[in-house]
């Protein structure tokens, strides 16, 4: 276990460490979350806790949940799996921790209790035994001395490590999931099943019907897509999930006041929370924004409070000093990080920043024994960093490991690392220039001064772009405040100022966050209600600034100025069935009817309610309007003359929150703060039957199904319920998944789906028939979702939020960064773009080639048939009129791209399979490589061989490529080498290039011809100097299996690779480092990759029979621009970017809005350009 952290009244906050269970008295502000998580854990055998980094999952588990579990006689068994090669199996690690808890923690819960077993020998969970078997033995129970039975709950914390550290060995990773799958699904392990078949005695000793234990998996939410890949094996990982959100302002204040006690005053607590939750943006924020909208990241709260407390102790003061927090707060994290290295040599800091973080700022653990053997740091230096709480040391079975105590520190370390690299690089450049020109110093002084100015300018630009990228991605991911759209705009600005691997990573981060979003628009006021027009072309929102707004549903463009007329917030809106009118209900106690074209009110306000009008709806036949109010009543109105139809409908005993008409206009359903729904007869205005009871909290939203047979309701009890309208009975169990109040619900127009919005800031989709959640929550809002609605064709969802944004979602979007094209009937072996970038050719083990349109993502014509065996390689000629293909049938074929017909007879000559083909840049030659260990040159016009076979390799040729000038050919081979050849003579150039990575599977020239990149069987890539045939830098490591294909970007700055680990990876050519996360989506090995000519797209072909299209950095930037719909104004640029840097359009196809413009009025059109190609 990690070194124990002392937490007491003098030191009540644990810096960036988690609160341990023994410090539960100091863990405050999360009472509601603890109870909600407890309910989640007790609701199903397997639960998943997820959140962003820094939200306090480990503290909630250990100091919040664990004591509550013990009070319910559940034994929490905390497990952090080790994924080292020599580690025990997952079952053995879990069994060992269970033994430790039985012997220690169980007894600690009660001084008089101990584990009492019917069979003590069997109760020992021997490491060599089957954990599944022993957990199911009938004669083993955990009981205390009072006879109470205890049930273990295995808590797998930091589970994302199985996708990082565990993924280094895919076979071990798979073994872990299979072991966990048997335990979680209560599935008899295969080996045990075979034993039970022949052992009746053992079968009788087992209780196979019950699962006397539970699992709770805790991980960062950005690894949920990885978890989804194992959903088929472990279905229980899907439905029962709890998302932990940042602390609300009241929670944060409680965490400070209750924890700090006499050390902190109420005023100090509020100062700290205000500092942590302030919106760091110059954009106007609606003055009516709820204070509860502010959120606080617990990790930062603990760090700031610890830092302030440290200063208090040094100054010998009685309370924290928060008067200068605005200046001091931002320095605490940096100071904490820097102070940890005080008195230590610089090599220790270099070790931390090189070995304890990845290139994209993710924490890594490192074995202590390797530190000692490689003399990276001394034992005393490690102890110092542990004592200073920068790193933690874990004692694991396979040896001690160290790691940074929190992801926040990893980001700080990354920034330090980048700044150090830039300073070192600039210093070297300056020294080099100085010594080169020293002999003619006076002559070149003027030129040298100009150069130094440019170097400084360049470095400043690069540092600015990196700062913007890091700041913007942190804002977009919620790690920092700063605005809904300003974060992505900062990233785009950094990308435009200077492209780098850091800006690429930030772009990828934002692109993935916005993947499900079609557009997002700012309104500068909280949206309280939302509705589609009947024809689906317009959206109306009711806003807390007393206005209504009308939007184009396709572009998100504001269609008109705001509708003014209410004197207080517009709480509810609805279109008339013919779309010509809009009705609104307001906090000013009135309804208003509006002309939907002109935005002008029709007649006078509709008065009759004595309190806020919370909900309004037109009847489907357009004759009536119903309203619900905080005066506990409903009212019916004549839609034509706007007069009330009789007295109010009385029946609820508290606020009416929501109302809706049935599809036949004969009934109304209402939901109320009295926790009931009521059905009403429209003609008699009388209630139908008794109130519908079932929710444990106020009903906030109700809706009829399109056929009128069902009602869906959303409640403050965090659930949805479905009701039968005939009987008034609930249908099945509550729909659970949200972690806060359900604020809005809607059926799809075909009645098959339900969407819900919640104060947990998410939307969820549900199957209306099974009442099960579909997929993951739709994330992105920074505050409560207040309204949801389906588009007319049910393909899109529109939502409004308290974060002042309007968002349109595509819930069916593929959440990988690439979109699949379901194509071939067998493995896709090769892909290539046409020279004009409009088409793709693919080849497959199904013996065919196919042409695809980039624009439509559809095949062009029929498959190209002619080869008798697998197509291994394909390439376009330089003018795009021909395709050459190679096949396992030992032949090459030429194809006419216009007709899809073969040109002439097959090209024969190879004595074994043809593995790779390529056209020369001048279109005169074709080169081919084969399993017969030879290369062959062919005349592209006559289709005849040119000269004799080129020999030299001792193994099969795996890949061939021409240099950009056509003078050289590179080949890779199963003999573990690459070779360069003179294309005019067929002679070898220099010695073979020996890669030391096993079979060389692919190779490619850089666009300038100075480098070659090669891919190896051992999972590495290497760069080579084409003049010297010498390696450049170290091998590029990141794939977890063989790398089958590589390609340079058209500008030569990046490399794309595809491998047996099913992933693509981007690499920075200058640094040799991976850019961002792997591109995931394929379900089998990636066999071939290629860049589009303009670099905006990447295509991949896979063993899963599909092609996928992926965005390059410019493509991702263009897609983000489409979703945002605007550039920064020049004023925003000065405030968010720099006063000293000239304005650069973040989105070249969009206009620059004028300063202080209402940016909700988006640009009317997006200019079409190559960068604006939609994925």
Q: What single string gives the DSSP state of each residue in 1054-1114?
A: EEEEEETTS-EEEEETTT--EEEEEE---SS-EEEEEE-TTSSEEEEEETTSEEEEEE-HH
SS3 225: helix
Q: Which residues contact 309 (CB under 8 A, 6 or more apart)?
A: 11, 12, 13, 260, 263, 320
Please check whether residue 590 lies inside any domain of the structure: yes
Q: CA-CA distance, 10 to 8, in Å (whole number)?
A: 5
What pLDDT is attached to residue 47?
A: 93
**Are residues 38 and 172 both part of a single domain?**
yes
What pLDDT is attached to residue 777?
A: 86
**Are residues 173 and 284 both part of a single domain?**
no
Please check whether residue 497 lies inside any domain of the structure: yes
423, 452, 471 - which closes a domain: 423
pLDDT > 70: percent of the chain: 86
**Are residues 455 and 480 both part of a single domain?**
yes
Q: How many CA atoms lie within 13 A of 847 on its CB side?
A: 7
Lowest mean pLDDT, pick from 817-821, 1055-1059, 1098-1102: 817-821
SS3 174: helix
pLDDT at 441 over 80: no
Please check whether residue 1018 lies inside any domain of the structure: no
Query: Which segments of 812-944 are extended strands (E)?
Result: 818-822, 828-833, 839-844, 848-853, 864-865, 871-876, 882-887, 891-896, 907-908, 914-919, 925-930, 935-939
Q: How many other C-beta atoms are found inside a 10 Å radius of the C-beta of residue 880?
A: 16
pLDDT at 890 over 90: yes
**Are residues 564 and 667 both part of a single domain?**
yes
User: Where do we find the tokens 């739709």?
Assistant: 778
What pLDDT is attached to residue 1016?
A: 92
Q: How many other C-beta atoms are found inside a 10 Å radius of the C-beta of residue 537?
A: 13
**Are residues 784 and 673 both part of a single domain?**
yes
808, 825, 845 - which closes a domain: 808
- Residue of 872, 931, 922, 864 whose CA lies nearest to 894: 864
pLDDT class for 359, splitting at 50, 70, 90? low
CA-to-CA dists, residue 501 to 254, 413, 1055, 1069, angstroms: 42, 17, 11, 9
What pLDDT is attached to residue 695?
A: 96
- The tokens for 365 are 């653990």
**Are residues 636 and 735 both part of a single domain?**
yes
pLDDT at 116 over 60: no
What pLDDT is attached to residue 1071?
A: 81
CA-to-CA dists, residue 329 to 187, 304, 314, 390, 434, angstroms: 52, 7, 17, 18, 41
Strands 74-79 and 149-156: parallel
Q: CA-CA distance, 1039 to 1027, in Å (whole number)?
A: 28
Please check whether residue 567 lies inside any domain of the structure: yes
Please name every residue paired with 790 in a beta bridge, in sequence order, or none if there are none: 797
How many folded domains does the chain comprise? Answer: 5
Q: CA-CA distance, 500 to 168, in Å (whole number)?
A: 27
Question: What burial class does residue 872 get, using C-beta atoms within 10 Å of its C-beta: 0-12 exposed, 13-18 middle, 19+ buried?
Answer: buried
Please check whether residue 960 lies inside any domain of the structure: no
What pLDDT is attached to residue 640?
A: 93
**127-163 tens-digit pLDDT:** 335 788 888 887 777 887 777 888 899 999 989 888 8
pLDDT at 821 over 80: no
**Are residues 536 and 623 both part of a single domain?**
yes
Lowest mean pLDDT, pick from 185-189, 785-789, 960-964, 1019-1023: 185-189
**Element (H or E) spanning 633, and its range?**
strand 633-638
pLDDT class for 167, splitting at 50, 70, 90? confident
What pLDDT is attached to residue 914?
A: 96
Lowest mean pLDDT, pick from 425-434, 768-777, 1127-1136: 425-434
**Are residues 655 and 559 both part of a single domain?**
yes
What pLDDT is attached to residue 437?
A: 44
- Return mean pLDDT, the chain: 84
Query: Which segments of 179-276 are extended strands (E)?
Result: 214-220, 241-243, 247-248
What pLDDT is attached to residue 327?
A: 62
pLDDT at 362 over 70: no
pLDDT at 1170 over 80: no
Task: Report the pLDDT averaged over residues 43-60.
Answer: 86
- The tokens for 507 are 């772009």
Q: What string of H, E and C letters represents the secondary structure of 527-556?
A: EEEEEECCCCCEEEEEECCCCEEEEECCCC
What pLDDT is attached to residue 440?
A: 40
pLDDT class for 949, splitting at 50, 70, 90? very high
Cα dihedral 824/826/827/833 (nearest 10): -20
Phi, psi (deg, nearest 5) at residue 137: -70, 135
Q: CA-CA distance, 780 to 801, in Å (whole number)?
A: 11
SS3 584: strand
What pLDDT is attached to residue 1081?
A: 84
pLDDT class for 360, splitting at 50, 70, 90? low
DSSP assignment letter at 354: H
Question: Which CATH number belongs to the domain containing residue 712 in this structure?
Answer: 2.130.10.10
DSSP assignment letter at 102: I
pLDDT at 245 over 90: no
**472-522 tens-digit pLDDT:** 887 777 656 666 788 899 999 999 998 877 788 888 888 888 888 889 998
Lowest mean pLDDT, pick from 514-523, 564-573, 717-726: 514-523
- Residue of 1063, 1025, 1023 whose CA lies nearest to 1043: 1063
pLDDT at 380 over 60: yes
Please check whether residue 561 lies inside any domain of the structure: yes
What pLDDT is attached to residue 106?
A: 56
Please check whether residue 1108 lies inside any domain of the structure: no
Task: Report the pLDDT averaged over residues 329-351.
Answer: 79
CA-to-CA dists, residue 91 to 134, 155, 178, 180, 959, angstroms: 11, 13, 10, 8, 44
Question: Which CATH number belongs to the domain containing residue 118 in this structure?
Answer: 3.40.50.300
Q: Which residues contact 229 (CB under 8 A, 6 or more apart)?
A: none
Q: CA-CA distance, 731 to 894, in Å (whole number)?
A: 63
Lowest mean pLDDT, pick from 298-307, 601-610, 1049-1058: 298-307
**Are residues 125 and 165 both part of a single domain?**
yes
- The residue that leads in pLDDT, 584 or 369, is 584
Q: CA-CA distance, 419 to 994, in Å (whole number)?
A: 35
Q: CA-CA distance, 1164 to 576, in Å (whole number)?
A: 27
Lowest mean pLDDT, pick from 167-176, 424-433, 522-531, 920-929: 424-433
Please check whether residue 871 lies inside any domain of the structure: no
What pLDDT is attached to residue 943?
A: 93
CA-to-CA dists, residue 475 to 425, 535, 994, angstroms: 29, 36, 46
Lowest mean pLDDT, pick from 4-8, 239-243, 436-440: 436-440
pLDDT class for 619, splitting at 50, 70, 90? very high
What pLDDT is attached to residue 1113?
A: 84
What pLDDT is attached to residue 204?
A: 79
**Are residues 317 and 367 both part of a single domain?**
no
What pLDDT is attached to residue 813?
A: 58
792, 808, 824 - which closes a domain: 808
Could you tell me the residue range of the domain that residue 362 belongs to? 340-423
**Are residues 648 and 533 both part of a single domain?**
yes
- The tokens for 704 are 């009829």
Task: Report the pLDDT averaged over residues 330-352.
Answer: 80
**Are residues 484 and 545 both part of a single domain?**
no
State pTM to two decimals. Answer: 0.60
């Amino acid at each position: 276990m990690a070194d124990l952290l002392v937490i007491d009244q003098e030191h009540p906050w644990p810096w960036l460490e988690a609160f341990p269970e023994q410090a539960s008295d100091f863990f405050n502000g999360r009472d509601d979350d603890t109870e909600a998580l407890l309910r989640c854990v007790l609701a199903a055998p397997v639960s998943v806790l997820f959140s962003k980094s820094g939200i306090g999952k480990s503290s909630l588990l250990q100091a919040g949940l664990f004591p509550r579990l013990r009070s319910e006689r559940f034994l929490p068994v905390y497990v952090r799996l080790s994924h080292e090669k020599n580690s025990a199996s997952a079952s053995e690690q879990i069994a060992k921790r269970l033994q430790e808890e039985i012997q220690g923690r169980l007894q600690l819960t009660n001084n008089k209790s101990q584990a009492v077993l019917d069979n003590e020998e069997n109760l020992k969970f021997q490491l060599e035994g089957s954990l599944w078997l022993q957990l199911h033995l009938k004669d083993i129970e955990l009981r205390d001395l009072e006879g109470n039975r205890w049930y273990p709950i295995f808590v797998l914390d930091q589970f994302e490590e199985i996708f990082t550290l565990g993924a280094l060995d895919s076979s071990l990773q798979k073994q872990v999931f299979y072991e966990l799958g048997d335990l979680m699904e209560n599935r008899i392990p295969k080996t045990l099943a075979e034993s039970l078949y022949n052992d009746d005695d053992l079968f009788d000793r087992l209780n196979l019907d019950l699962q006397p234990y539970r699992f709770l998996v805790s991980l960062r939410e950005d690894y949920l897509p990885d978890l989804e890949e194992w959903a088929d094996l472990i279905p229980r990982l899907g439905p029962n999930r709890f998302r932990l959100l940042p602390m609300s302002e009241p929670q944060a204040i409680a965490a400070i006041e209750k924890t700090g006690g006499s050390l902190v005053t109420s005023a100090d607590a509020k100062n700290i929370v205000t500092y942590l939750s302030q919106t760091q943006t110059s954009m106007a924020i609606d003055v009516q924004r709820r204070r509860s909208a502010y959120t606080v990241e617990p990790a930062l709260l603990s760090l700031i409070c610890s830092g302030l407390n440290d200063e208090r102790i040094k100054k010998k003061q009685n309370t924290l000093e928060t008067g200068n927090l605005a200046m001091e707060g931002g320095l605490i994290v940096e100071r904490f990080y820097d102070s940890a290295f005080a008195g230590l040599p610089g090599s220790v800091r270099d070790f931390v920043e090189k070995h304890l973080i990845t290139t994209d700022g993710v924490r890594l653990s490192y074995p202590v024994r390797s530190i000692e053997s490689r003399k990276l740091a001394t034992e005393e230096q490690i102890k110092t960093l542990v004592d200073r709480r920068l790193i933690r040391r874990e004692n694991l079975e396979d040896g001690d490991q160290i790691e940074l105590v929190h992801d926040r520190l990893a980001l700080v370390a990354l920034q330090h690392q980048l700044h150090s690299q830039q300073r070192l690089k600039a210093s070297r450049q300056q020294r080099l220039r100085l010594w080169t020109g020293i002999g003619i110093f006076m002559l070149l002084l003027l030129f040298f001064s100009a150069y130094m100015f440019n170097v400084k300018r360049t470095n400043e630009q690069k540092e600015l772009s990196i700062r913007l990228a890091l700041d913007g991605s942190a804002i977009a991911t919620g790690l920092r405040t700063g605005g809904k759209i300003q974060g992505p705009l900062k990233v785009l600005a950094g990308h435009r100022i200077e492209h780098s691997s850091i800006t690429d990573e930030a772009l990828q981060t934002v692109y993935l966050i916005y993947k499900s979003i079609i557009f997002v628009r700012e309104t500068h006021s909280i949206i309280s209600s939302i509705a589609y027009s009947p024809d689906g072309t317009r959206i109306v929102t009711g806003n807390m600034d007393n206005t209504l707004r009308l939007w184009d549903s396709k572009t998100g463009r504001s269609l008109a100025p705001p509708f003014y007329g209410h004197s207080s917030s517009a709480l509810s809106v609805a279109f008339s069935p013919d779309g010509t009118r809009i009705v609104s209900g307001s906090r000013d106690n009135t309804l208003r009817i509006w002309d939907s074209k002109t935005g002008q009110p029709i007649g006078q306000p509709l008065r009759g309610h004595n309190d806020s009008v919370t909900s309004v709806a037109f009847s489907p036949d357009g004759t009536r309007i119903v309203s619900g109010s905080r005066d506990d009543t409903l009212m019916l109105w004549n839609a034509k003359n706007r007069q009330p139809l009789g007295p109010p409908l009385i029946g609820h005993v508290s606020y009416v929150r929501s109302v809706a008409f049935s599809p036949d206009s004969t009934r109304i359903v209402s939901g109320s703060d009295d926790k009931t729904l009521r059905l009403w007869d429209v003609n008699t205005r009388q209630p139908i039957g008794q109130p519908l009871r079932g929710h444990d909290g106020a009903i906030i939203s109700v809706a009829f199904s399109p056929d009128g047979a069902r009602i869906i309701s959303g409640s403050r009890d965090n659930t949805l319920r479905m009701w039968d309208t005939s009987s008034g009975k609930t249908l099945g169990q509550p729909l659970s998944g949200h972690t806060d109040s359900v604020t809005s619900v809607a059926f799809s127009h075909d009645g098959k789906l339900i969407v819900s919005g919640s104060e947990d800031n998410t939307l969820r989709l549900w199957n209306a028939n099974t009442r099960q959640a579909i997929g993951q929550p739709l994330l992105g809002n920074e505050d409560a979702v207040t309204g949801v609605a389906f588009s007319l064709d049910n393909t899109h969802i529109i939502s409004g939020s308290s974060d002042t944004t309007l968002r349109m979602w595509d819930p069916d979007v593929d959440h990988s960064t690439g979109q699949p094209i379901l194509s071939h009937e067998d493995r896709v072996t090769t892909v290539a773009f046409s020279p004009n970038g409009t088409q793709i050719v693919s080849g497959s083990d199904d013996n065919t080639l196919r042409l695809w349109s980039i624009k439509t993502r559809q095949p062009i014509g029929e498959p190209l048939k002619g080869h008798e065996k697998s197509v291994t390689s394909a390439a376009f000629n330089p003018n795009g009129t021909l395709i050459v293909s190679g096949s396992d049938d030992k032949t090459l074929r030429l194809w006419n791209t216009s007709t899809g017909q073969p040109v002439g007879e097959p090209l024969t000559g190879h004595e074994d399979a043809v593995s790779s083909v390529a056209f020369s840049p001048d279109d005169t030659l074709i080169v081919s490589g084969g399993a017969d260990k030879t290369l062959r040159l062919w005349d592209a016009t006559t289709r005849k061989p040119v000269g004799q076979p080129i020999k030299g390799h001792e193994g099969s040729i795996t890949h061939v490529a021409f240099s950009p000038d056509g003078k050289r050919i590179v080949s890779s081979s199963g003999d573990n080498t690459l070779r360069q050849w003179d294309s005019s003579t067929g002679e070898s150039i220099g010695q073979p290039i020996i890669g030391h990575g096993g079979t060389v599977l692919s190779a490619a020239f850089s666009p300038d011809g100075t480098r070659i990149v090669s891919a190896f069987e051992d999972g590495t890539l290497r760069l080579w100097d084409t003049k010297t045939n010498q390696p450049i830098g170290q091998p590029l490591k990141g794939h977890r299996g063989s790398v089958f294909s590589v390609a340079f970007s058209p500008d030569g700055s990046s490399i794309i690779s595809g491998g047996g680990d099913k992933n693509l990876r981007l690499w920075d050519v200058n640094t040799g480092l991976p850019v961002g996360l792997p591109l995931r989506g394929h379900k089998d090995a990636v066999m071939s990759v290629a860049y589009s000519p303009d670099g905006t797209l990447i295509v991949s072909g896979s063993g899963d029979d599909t092609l996928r299209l992926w965005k390059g950095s410019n493509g991702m930037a263009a897609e983000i621009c489409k979703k945002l719909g605007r550039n920064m104004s020049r004023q925003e640029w000065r405030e968010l970017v720099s006063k000293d840097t000239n304005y650069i359009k973040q989105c070249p196809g969009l206009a620059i809005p004028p300063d202080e413009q209402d940016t909700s009025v988006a640009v009317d059109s997006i200019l079409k350009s190559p960068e604006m190609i939609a994925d």
